[in-house]
Structure 1
Amino acid sequence: MAIYTEFASWLNNNQGVLTLSIFLATILLGWVSGIFSALRRKPKFALRVIDGPTFACTFTTGKKKGQFEVHRTCIALYLSVSNVGSSPSSLEALSVGYHWNLKPFSLLWVKHSIGWFWLNQQAVALEDFQAKIGESTKVYPFLFQNASSGFNKVETYLNIGQSTNGVVYFEQPDSWGGCFPKVNREEVEVRVKLADTFGRMHTKKFRIPMVSLEYARKYNPSFGKTLSELNGEKLPFDLV
């Protein structure tokens, strides 16, 4: 009983200090919880490929590098991107990687067969990707590039729960030897790496078809021509 009396007396005598302590503790807890809440809020982009112009293609250019034929690899991906995280963000950049077709037990094989060879710079497609459906033509939107027809509006800022889709297109500069995708059952394993505006990376692996240039150009007559146009050259099969 004496202890209770002393405690009650202490509370009465130190009421101001106690009130201030509670106030400061409340502010501290609110600040800490705000920080943790902010840390929990972050975007998360889910990636998937859609039926359409999603494939890889390697073709020779008619040139030679020593004893090797020079070739180029082009990759088109028709992607869907959804923000399944807890914060809005923008799509900043997208890269695609694949394994080189190299023989084992070489240093290059370790780097590009166990590791990945990355195409970090998207090529500007000279024409829209499209497909004939009966008497109509379906034009596929681009993810980052505006369609030449003005068909699509690029949407790179995604709110929570929002999604967008479009084609991304890559052309690898002149290469030779085994510096092209390794094919297994007519498919290529690729890894897509998407950066958001906060610098976070969102990655996903896919298996996509390896197709002929003739097949690829059914979707885009200018498939594989961007680097040639920039270099002011004509590929042998494009000469008229």
Structure 2
Amino acid sequence: MSVTEALLLTAKWSNDNQGVITIIVFLVTLCLGWISGIFSALRHKPKFRIDIIPGPTFCCTYFTGTSYQSFDVHRTGVALYLAIANVGTAPSSIEDISVGYHWHLKPFSIAWLKYTIGWFWLHQQTVALTDFQAAIGENIKVYPFLMQRNFLSGSKAETYLDVGRSTNGVVYFEQGDSWGGFFPSVHNETVLLKIRIKDVFGRSHHTKIRVPSVSLEEARKYNPSFGKTLVELRDQELQASSQPN
């Protein structure tokens, strides 16, 4: 069969089956549109980039002056001055922020396997009693909070992030009464932390950072109420002393 004859037969078949061809074209177009819509939806999602800004970013573990059985009770506080940018392709809001660390435990115990290979999480942020601040010459710089209002200005950072937008602020965590190796492991005066941010769609955004491990006296240079929130809530007296080793 020549090429000419083949083309004539194809044209005749097309003329005789126009209805079938129309349906096939319609179904193929529908499928392609559905598939492209799925891929388009997958491409459009938020992506938060998490960075640390110089300022009140540190971890502090301190004794409370009390004991549990034969153990001295200690607590851990974490302050993080975060910069969060939406570098994805869809807007979203910051819904929740958690911080995780590795326990300071002897190797090969059950808890060591769980919290030294894995992470122990502080899921609940703590309301700081006063603003984080620093003296710069004769002036006082007040750092904005990310998830609570500042006391002096009453301002609050924007947590809704459109594509290409960023926000920044301090988040604060206080861990309750602890003992033994239930505190962050310190290496070269730093602590490895994992920050997890959940957006309003339930997606998680992570980063790992090392932050300075400081004394309570150093921490309170940024905030005189550091470590006092749980004390105030429970109407207790805190007799803080040096950090665990």
TM over 0.5: yes
Q: What is the Cα deviation at residue 8 of structure 1?
A: 1.4
Q: What is the Cα deviation at residue 151 of structure 1?
A: 4.7
Partner of 2:156: 153
SS at 1:236 equivalent: coil
Q: Greater CA deviation, 82-91 or 3-12?
A: 3-12
CA distance in 2, matches of 1:113, 1:87: 35
Q: What do the CA deviations read for 1:91-114 (whole angstroms, capped 9, x no partner)?
A: 111111111111112111111111
Which ranges of structure 2 fall in alignment gaps of 5 or more residues?
none
1:78 aligns with 2:81: yes
Cα pair 1:141 1:151 within 8 Å, conserved:
no
Q: What do the CA deviations read for 1:171-194 (whole angstroms, capped 9, x no partner)?
A: 000001111111111100111111
Cα pair 1:101 1:181 within 8 Å, conserved:
yes
SS at 1:138 equivalent: strand
How does 1:10-21 map onto structure 2 within 5 Å? 10-21=13-24
Choose the corresponding residue for 1:171, options 169, 174, 178: 174
Partner of 1:219: 222
Which ranges of structure 1 fall in alignment gaps of 5 or more residues?
none
CA distance in 2, matches of 1:27, 1:114: 49
SS at 2:130 equivalent: coil
Q: What is the Cα deviation at residue 2 of structure 1?
A: 3.2
Choose the corresponding residue for 2:94, options 91, 94, 99: 91
SS at 1:176 equivalent: coil
Choose the corresponding residue for 1:29, options 17, 32, 56: 32
CA distance in 1, matches of 2:240, 2:176: 18
Cα pair 1:75 1:171 within 8 Å, conserved:
yes
Q: What is the Cα deviation at residue 213 of structure 1?
A: 0.6
Cα pair 2:196 2:205 within 8 Å, conserved:
yes
Scaled by the length of structure 1, what TM-score is found?
0.95
Partner of 2:125: 122
Q: Percent identity?
A: 60
Partner of 2:199: 196
Q: Greater CA deviation, 48-57 or 100-109?
A: 100-109
Q: What is the Cα deviation at residue 21 of structure 1?
A: 2.6
Cα pair 2:62 2:240 within 8 Å, conserved:
no
Scaled by the length of structure 2, what TM-score is found?
0.93
Aligned residues: 238
Cα pair 2:102 2:192 within 8 Å, conserved:
yes
Partner of 1:182: 185
SS at 1:222 equivalent: coil
SS at 1:19 equivalent: helix
Choose the corresponding residue for 1:111, options 114, 123, 128: 114
CA RMSD of aligned residues (A): 1.4
